[in-house]
Chains A and B, each alone.
Chain A
Amino acid sequence: MSVHEVIEPLHVAVVGGHPLRFFRTPLNDGRPDLPWVAIDDLGRCLGLSRTDRRVHLRAVHAGSKAIIRTIATSDGPASIIPVSLANAAAAALVEDLGRGSPQARAEYQRAAGAALMKLAPRPFASAEELMAWTNAVTTRWAGDPISAVDLMPFLKVTTAKGEESRLINERDMLLLAMRTEATDDNKIEAVQNEIIAIVSAWNRGELLPRSDAPLLSQIYERGFTP
């Protein structure tokens, strides 16, 4: 992407009474990514004083030197960073240092969510695809993975005894299969061997035939056929 190519914002929100511009990722690696935000706008939107804005910009430039990009916009050059990094800076400024407006920070988070919704591919074919995309964008910039239940709390079920359980999804089933200890009366070792065979083949750049993993194939056919 040329720095001279004028980029239109993905989303413009009003935060703290000022416009805040979000952009699509400037990285053209084909990976899912979060929206990026104009950091020059952010300090003003959060209600920082002129001095604090200068400190904030210096800190962002120093801390995100390898990530920050400068793009051309119809309003002149703008420095942008992924929203997750801007979130961390906003939290530190408002919560830890007591600078800026908590109300504006809440507006910023809602605005970042609205920008994200303009990026998300839809409709997702399955809950697993939604989870895969969500985790690809959230972990790209060192965020923590999100579980299906974090994202879709309606999957939680409270039993009559007051214990919390939940409908198991494909991800949970596979994690459980890896963690379960093999005994004489379960077939978990065979399932674990199939998992290993699939991942070993993947490492060689090959797709293991389904017939070579009959137990997993059977579990999928029984429980996870869309």
Chain B
Amino acid sequence: MTDSDEGEYLLNEGQTWFLTLVATPEDGAKNAIEIKHEVVKVLMAWRRGKLLPRWEVPHLAGFCDDFNRMEQGLPLRPLQGVKP
């Protein structure tokens, strides 16, 4: 529980992605629009049978790096995407 008695939830990868896709800047997700546009780029490349290089989607890659660090139990970088 947090200081303000709000519940905390441990999300799996799919749930994290889902929240990322539906998040908006109004929710406090500052890079939500950029990440959505970058997800689109990944999908468009997938359609062509290609893996998009990570440098072409810097916001998404940063988000994934955070998630990967979390999975490995490493400390996160300062939070940029979603408001705690």
Q: Which A residues contact B (CB, under 8 angstroms)?
A: 29, 31, 128, 132, 135-136, 145, 170-171, 174-175, 178-179, 192-193, 195-196, 198-200, 202-203, 205-208, 216, 220, 224
In the complex the two chains form, what is the Cα distance from A178 to B50 in whole Å? Answer: 21
| Residues A198 and B55 in contact, CB atoms below 8 Å apart | no
Interface SS, B side: helix
Q: Could you tell me if B41 and A132 are in contact, using CB atoms closer than 8 angstroms?
A: yes
Please give, as numbers and ranges, the residues of chain A lying within 8 Å of B22 by CB-CB distance. Answer: 178-179
Which B residues lie within 8 Å of A208 (CB)? 46
Cβ of A200: which chain B residues have Cβ within 8 Å of it? 13-14, 17
Contacts of B50 in A (CB 8 A): 207
* Known contacts A128-B44, A199-B43, then 14 further A-B pairs from the complex at CB < 8 Å, ordered by chain A residue: A29-B55, A132-B41, A170-B44, A174-B39, A174-B40, A178-B22, A179-B22, A195-B43, A198-B46, A200-B17, A202-B42, A203-B64, A203-B68, A216-B43
Cβ-based interface call for B37 (8 A): yes
Q: Roughly how many angstroms separate A200 CA and B12 CA in the complex, as a whole number?
A: 12
Using known A-B contacts A196-B14, A196-B18, determine if residue A175 contacts B46 with beta carbons closer than 8 Å: no
Complex contact A202–B52 (CB within 8 A):
yes
Interchain CB contact under 8 A, A31 and B55: yes
Report the Cα distance A206→B50, complex, angstroms: 10
How many residues of chain B are within 8 Å of chain A by beta carbon? 27
Other-chain contact of B18, A145, A192, A198, A220 (Cβ < 8 Å): A192
Residues on A with beta carbons closer than 8 Å to the beta carbon of B76: none
A196–B52 alpha-carbon span in the complex (Å): 15
When the two chains form the complex, which single residue of B21, B47, B56, B68 contacts A136, counting CB atoms closer than 8 Å? B56
With a CB–CB cut-off of 8 A, which chain A residues contact B37? 135, 145, 171, 175
5 A-B pairs closest in CB distance: A196-B17, A203-B64, A178-B21, A174-B40, A202-B42
Query: Across the interface, do B44 and A196 meet the contact criterion of CB distance under 8 Å?
Result: no
- B:19-68 near A, CB below 8 Å: 21-22, 34, 36-37, 39-44, 46-47, 49-52, 55-56, 60, 64, 67-68
Contacts of B34 in A (CB 8 A): 145
| CB nearest to B41 among chain A residues | A132
Kindly list chain A residues whose C-beta atoms are within 8 Å of the C-beta of B43: 174, 195, 198-199, 216
Flag if A175 contacts B17 (CB, 8 Å): no
Q: How many Å lie between the Cα of A204 and that of B6 in the bound state? A: 33
Shortest CB distance A220–B (Å): 6
Q: Which residues of B sit under 8 angstroms from A135, Cβ to Cβ?
A: 37
Contacts of B41 in A (CB 8 A): 132
A31 → B minimal CB distance (Å) = 7
Which residues in A have their C-beta under 8 angstroms from that of B56? 31, 136
Q: Known contacts A196-B14, A200-B13, A203-B67: does B55 contact A174 (CB below 8 Å)?
A: no
